[in-house]
Structure formats: C-alpha cells, structure tokens
Amino acid sequence: MIDPTLLPLLACPRCDDRPPLADEGAWLRCTVCHWRYRVEDGIPNLLPDEALPPDENDER
C-alpha cells in the first residue's frame, strides 16, 4: 500500500499526458493505459521496463 498523500503526485510514465494512477494494494494501475507498476514496502517502482501490461479482462 502506498501513502495516500503521495498518490496524487504520481503519474503514469508510459503515457504522454501523465494520467493519474489508481492504488490497487501491491500495484499502481494507470487509469488510461492500464499498465501496472509494483509497490514494494510502500515504494512504487515506476520504471516502464518493469511494468506489467494490462490484463485481458481490463476494460479500455
């Protein structure tokens, strides 16, 4: 889980318009492209090369 005061400052590094990220516990998910970024010990890993692509079930 990420600190709720930090979440509004974070944005998707893959999208040019830098949309916000949604907190999903162990993951942050982009609200536009739906790529997922791991959160480990409260620290988000926003490296695009380590992000996971959207699930097949994600709505676009």
pLDDT digits (tens, 9 = 90+) for 6-29: 999 999 999 999 999 999 999 999
Which residue stretches of the chain are H helix? none
Among the residue ranges 1-5, 16-20, 28-32, 37-41, the one predicted with the least confidence is 1-5
* Closest by CA position to 58, among listed 23, 26, 33: 33
**Residue 29 and residue 21 in contact, taking contact as beta carbons nearer than 8 Å:** yes
pLDDT category of residue 58 using cuts at 50, 70 and 90: low
pLDDT category of residue 32 using cuts at 50, 70 and 90: very high
Instruction: Give the percent of the chain with pLDDT over 90.
Output: 77
